[in-house]
Chain A
Amino acid sequence: MAEPANQAYTSLLAAKGLNAWYGESHILHGVDFEVHSGEVVTLLGRNGAGKTTTLKSIMGMVEKRTGSVLFQGQETVKLPSNRIAQLGVALCPEERAIFASLNVEENLLLPPEVAAGGLSLERIYELFPNLKERLKSQGTKLSGGEQQMLAIGRILRTGAKMLLLDEPTEGLAPVIVQQIGRTIARLKSEGFTIVLVEQNFRFAATVADRHYVMENGRVVDMIPNAQLDANMDKLHEYLGV
């Protein structure tokens, strides 16, 4: 279905008053933010601010959550994570979570297709040529950078158009960080919508449209990327850098 160009920036994902718990600990205290279709949005904040938990809550991977998460207008806060994935949301977790008992190819093919229009394997190998040479290696025998490429690559196949990337650049060499930055830019140009959790806001500034700042389980500020320089002092204070 072709959408009129002026509706390209409709809200694809909207969290309202999102609360989340791990066991007894209350981690998110009413998170509000929204992501438009085709945008790259980052969640910035210190360690423990609730960024990763926000991604996991969108994905339905926390024990308990309340509030509202609308995806394409559909309420998902009561759905189990497999149903949410089937709607077209995919997570690349912070720990990468490459499966040790699967080889690279099996890891890449593991997530089932949830919609038509995912990237073909050829496209994924074109983005990450290293993977193609290591298909029969055990997944966890790859270098950190290659594991990150595999963790991103495997969710591009599925047809999910909403990607949640949790610190994809953490602990990687600058040349790989650049490669991931270029990949995110290409995905955006192809119409993917991306929520990116980052500690490194200099990297975030190169790829994102808008930045949400989180503190103590809440979103406390939103800074459009164009106004990042003007807000640098404020941002330094938020992030404590």
Chain B
Amino acid sequence: MTEIFGVPTQALFGQLLIGLINGSFYALLSLGLAVIFGLLNIINFTHGAQYMMGAFVAYLLANKAGLGYWWSLALVPLIVGATGVVIERLMLSKLYKLDHLYGLLLTFGLALIIQGLFRNEYGTSGLPYPMPAELSGGTNLGFMFLPNYRAWVIVASAIVCLGSWFVIEKTKLGSYLRAATENPALVQAFGINVPRMITLTYGFGVALAAFAGVMAAPIYQVSPQMGADLIIVVFAVVVIGGMGSILGSILTGFGLGIIEGLTKVFYPEASNTVIFIIMAIVLMFRPAGLFGAQK
């Protein structure tokens, strides 16, 4: 059997793949957090719960309405994004003039309530969500076996991340967003409806989380706790990448997923902590994160 650094290639590429899959979810979720933080100045602790809602709404659409995976991929981000719009209009919009802490407390509290409601209704054991038939099976690449669904997750999240980056950095709409992140009062005084833009931005960030939730449903079990487990790591990713940096959150998301996967191969004992160790080191030398603006 072929080996690299004394590790069988099968195991190495297998863990790299798992790392890329995790990285896809880290990137999608930290991108949403970065967009929301940039414009709203709110650290959205509800993000994990909104990811979980994405998976659950897909599960419900499948079991109550008979709508399959592809329908869910299109509809769930809209449905969960709409709940985000309601949350922003009714609650978050009252907090912008107050300290960060209030936004954090509100979104954290909302996360606990949402998770509690779903736990109450569906219990803690995971519910199965079928893989779309089109993407079952896999491809033998010669050096490893690549399940089709996992390849799809990596490609789809890379496309969504890069598409979001393109819109934000290279389009007119994105220039409004970037300008409003810097100076919302002046952008509004130029004639742009900034409050509506803020509402839609929150809805978009939440929709990204829900999209990630739908993609996760066939891989992980659908459970009320799934977001809470993931979001802690995602916050570490955001801190490492730099709060509010779009490209930073995407690159660090994928990068840290891969590093985590490699750690599982070379030093499995550290695989659960490696991201937090990196976070501690980055905070020591670049407190604003790798891609954040140093103050």
Name A's B-contacting residues (CB within 8 A): 59-61, 80-82, 84-86, 90-91, 93, 97, 99-102, 106, 109-112, 114, 155, 158
Contact = CB atoms under 8 A, between A and B. Distances in A.
B178 A102 contact: yes
A110 B190 contact: yes
B2 to A, nearest CB: 47
Given A61-B185, A81-B185, A97-B183, A102 B175 contact: yes
Contacts of A97: 183, 186
Given A61-B185, A81-B185, A97-B183, A111 B178 contact: no
A91 B189 contact: yes
Q: Is the interface of B mostly helix, strand, loop or mixed?
A: helix
From A61, A106, A158, name the one whose CB has the most chain B CB atoms within 10 angstroms. A106
Nearest to B191: A85
Q: Is the interface of A mostly helix, strand, loop or mixed?
A: loop
A141 B169 CA distance: 18
Given A60-B189, A109-B172, A110-B176, A82 B194 contact: yes
Interface string B178-219: 110111011111111110000000000000000000000000
Interface of B: 172, 175-176, 178-179, 181-183, 185-194
Contact of B183 (A99, A106, A109, A114): A99
Contacts of A90: 190
A93 B189 CA distance: 10
B184 to A, nearest CB: 10
Nearest to A103: B175
Nearest to A114: B191
B107 to A, nearest CB: 25
A82 B175 contact: no
Nearest to B180: A99
B189 A101 contact: no
A80 B187 CA distance: 12
